[in-house]
Structure formats: C-alpha cells, structure tokens
Amino acid sequence: MTGDTQSRERWPVLVTRRLPQPALDAIDERCDMELWEGPPEAIPRDELLKRIGGKAGAVTLLTEKVDAEFFDAAGPQLRIVANYAVGFDNIDVEESTRRGVMATNTPDVLTDTTADLAWALLMAAARRIGEGDRLLRGRKGWIWGPEMMLGQDVHHKVLGIVGFGRIGQAVARRASGFGMQVVYFDLFRPPPEVERHVGAEYRVFDDLLREADFISIHVALTPETRHLFGTGQFRAMKPTAVLVNSSRGPVIDEAALAEALRSGEIFAAGLDVFEKEPEVHPALLELENATVIPHLGSATVDTRIAMGTLAAENLIAALEGRKPTTLLNPEAWERTRGG
Ligand code: DGY
C-alpha cells in the first residue's frame, strides 16, 4: 500500500453480488467493500436492509429493490447507488433524488451485445432452433422431410421495433444484412436524420402490430409499458408473426402470450425476460414455439466486465466528489454541489 493510498479516505460500500474481478479490484482499491457472496446468490431483502446501514455507496443489481425502505435503512450518509444494469426499474429514482442520493446505470456498454442477443432469439424462434435441439436430445429418431419443422423466413420481411432507443436502433441496424424493411414505434420520435441513418420508418403502434412480421421489444418498464402486449395486441398481429422480448418481462402479459402461442394467433416468441422473474409462466414452458432463455441479454465476458467497470467508476466518482458519467438524476448531483 503506498503512502498516498494510506492517506486517502476510504468509504464503506456494499456490493450486492460478485462482479467481474476488474470491477471488484477498482472498488476495493478506494473503498471498504462489503461483498454479498451468498448463499443464496441474490441478497435477501433483510440482509440488504441490514448491510446497507451506514454505507456511503452501493452497487446494486436489477434483483434489488431500491426504494424508500432501502434509503431509510441506509441512513443519510448514503451518496450513490450504482446500478449494474442499463434498466433501472428496480430503483425509485424520484425517491433517490428526494434523498439527495445519486443513482447511475450502465448504458451504452451493453447496447450491441443486447442487440445481438435479440437477433439470436429472433432467429431461434423463427427457425425453431430450440425445438430442433430438443428433438435431437430426445433421441426419438428423425428423418429429413419436406414438411419437417417449417419455420418463417427472416430475410426481406418487415421488422417492427417497439422502443427506439439505443438498443432498439442497434437491432434495427442489423436488419439491413437481411434485406428487411424496418418500422418502429416509440413515444419519443428521434430527429429524421436518425430515422434515415438507421433506415427505419415510424408507425403508430397499432399499424406496426398489423404490418410487422417480427416485433422486437426494447422499451423501459414503466407504468405505461406494463402489459403493453396483451390479448388485443396478439390478435392484431399476423398469425405468422414472431415476438421477441429482451427488455423487461412485465411488458408482456405472459398468460395472454401463452394462449396466443397455443392457439396459433402468432407463430412464435423468443423471450429473454419474464413477468415474475426468475419464474417462467408454466404454460410457456409447455410450448414448443416459445424459445426461453434466462435473461442473457448482456451476458458476454467483455460486456459484463465493461458494465462492472462503469458501475465501479460511477461509484468512485460520486464518492470522490466528481460527477458520475451515467447519472440518472443530475438534480441529486446539483444538491451535493449546494445547488
Ligand atoms: C440490463 O442491463 O438492464 C439488463 O437487463 C441486464 O444486463
């Protein structure tokens, strides 16, 4: 330990799950780190509330609810909650701002990785990859046939993007290689040059539902987007349509989706996220045309390191009195500056 390191202030922080090592090293160098390592893997609520007490900062995951009770348990010295995710529906940002606590997320570093995963799900659902894999593993015997396991063409079809932020646009850009037409819906329309650059045309939601062969969801979870997709929306979609969700599970009414898949109202779905995660609606697990994977959107070695590094940088910046780069509530930062 250098003299410099010895003399510098060290802040007590809580890290709620083992992060990639470079992130832990960075935090450990500047902070007195309490790391939850389980079991169980996800920190139980009572342990979270106990361990956050007296901390100056925390790195949290989407599995932890950061709300008024959390802030009460933490105490007034808490300065920063650095979320290890781009989505922050687990954080009550308004409450965080009210308490003068900075909240950060990890955008950008996972955009392309999540877009790749959305495409993997789209292809898998359209071409029945999971079902084929299960067939062979079942060792029941099979023979090539003209009508065996027919899927849907992806190339030259219409891709509908719901939620045209960073990840939605990255998914849209990938469609040009497949010669697809891209349409999108978002409450916030970007400037026309963004539409031109990405090669996507705006549609009102109902038109997109009717027109798209593939729909990929990339909205944040808010009260307005909860159950954005339900019985009515599935009815409006083509019977050959494929729905992909790598955003947040509650955007889809899972029971209604299971029924739409069962009755053939839509062709298939590829799901990375679930309404009551980690549970998956049992009816979906019975359906061959539901491709389900366990929230792997950002799960690559490089991207998880990048997310951890960004979360650690945000944490340390706030504790050192610098503005974190991906701050969700600049008002809380202004407050620390006496603004
Ligand atoms: C996120 O970042 O919000 C993902 O869901 C996990 O990477």
Stretch 53-75: mean pLDDT? 98
Does 297 sit in the ligand 1 pocket, CB within 6 Å?
yes
Give the span between the Cα atoms of 90 and 83, in whole angstroms. 9
Question: Are residues 116 and 14 located together in one domain of the fold?
Answer: no
Question: Are residues 206 and 98 located together in one domain of the fold?
Answer: no
Question: Are residues 233 and 94 located together in one domain of the fold?
Answer: no
Give the span between the Cα atoms of 315 and 213, in whole angstroms. 43
> For ligand 1, atom 1, which residue shows the shortest CA distance?
85
Question: Are residues 198 and 318 located together in one domain of the fold?
Answer: no
Question: Are residues 281 and 219 located together in one domain of the fold?
Answer: yes
Query: How confident is the model at residue 337, as a pLDDT?
Result: 77
- pLDDT value at 201 more than 70: yes
Query: How confident is the model at residue 6, as a pLDDT?
Result: 53
Query: How confident is the model at residue 40, as a pLDDT?
Result: 97
Give the span between the Cα atoms of 244 and 214, in whole angstroms. 8
Question: Are residues 74 and 196 located together in one domain of the fold?
Answer: no
- pLDDT value at 11 more than 60: yes
Does 87 sit in the ligand 1 pocket, CB within 6 Å?
yes
Give the span between the Cα atoms of 296 and 246, in whole angstroms. 9
Atom of ligand 1 nearest to the CA of 87: 3
Does 130 sit in the ligand 1 pocket, CB within 6 Å?
no
Q: 105-143 pLDDT, tens per residue?
A: 999 999 999 999 999 999 999 999 999 999 999 998 999
Q: 297-329 pLDDT, tens per residue?
A: 999 999 999 999 999 999 999 999 999 999 999
Question: Are residues 89 and 196 located together in one domain of the fold?
Answer: no
Question: Are residues 185 and 316 located together in one domain of the fold?
Answer: no
Question: Are residues 131 and 272 located together in one domain of the fold?
Answer: yes
Question: Are residues 210 and 273 located together in one domain of the fold?
Answer: yes
Question: Are residues 123 and 248 located together in one domain of the fold?
Answer: yes
Ligand 1 centroid–CA 125 distance in Å is 21
Does 118 sit in the ligand 1 pocket, CB within 6 Å?
no
Give the span between the Cα atoms of 101 and 196, in whole angstroms. 39
Does 86 sit in the ligand 1 pocket, CB within 6 Å?
yes
Domain at 146, CATH number: 3.40.50.720
Query: How confident is the model at residue 339, as a pLDDT?
Result: 60
Q: How many CA atoms lie less than 13 Å away from 84 in the CB half-sphere?
A: 25
Atom of ligand 1 nearest to the CA of 114: 7
Q: Which of 90, 108, 109, 110 to mutate to test the pocket of ligand 1 (most atoms within 8 A of CB)?
A: 110
Domain of 161 in residue numbering reads as: 111-292
Total of domains in the chain: 2
Catalytic residues: 248, 277, 295
Question: Mean pLDDT, the chain, as a whole number?
Answer: 96
> For ligand 1, atom 4, which residue shows the shortest CA distance?
85
> For ligand 1, atom 7, which residue shows the shortest CA distance?
298
Query: How confident is the model at residue 4, as a pLDDT?
Result: 52
Query: How confident is the model at residue 150, as a pLDDT?
Result: 98
Percent of the chain with pLDDT over 70: 98
Give the span between the Cα atoms of 104 and 83, in whole angstroms. 6
Question: Are residues 142 and 184 located together in one domain of the fold?
Answer: yes
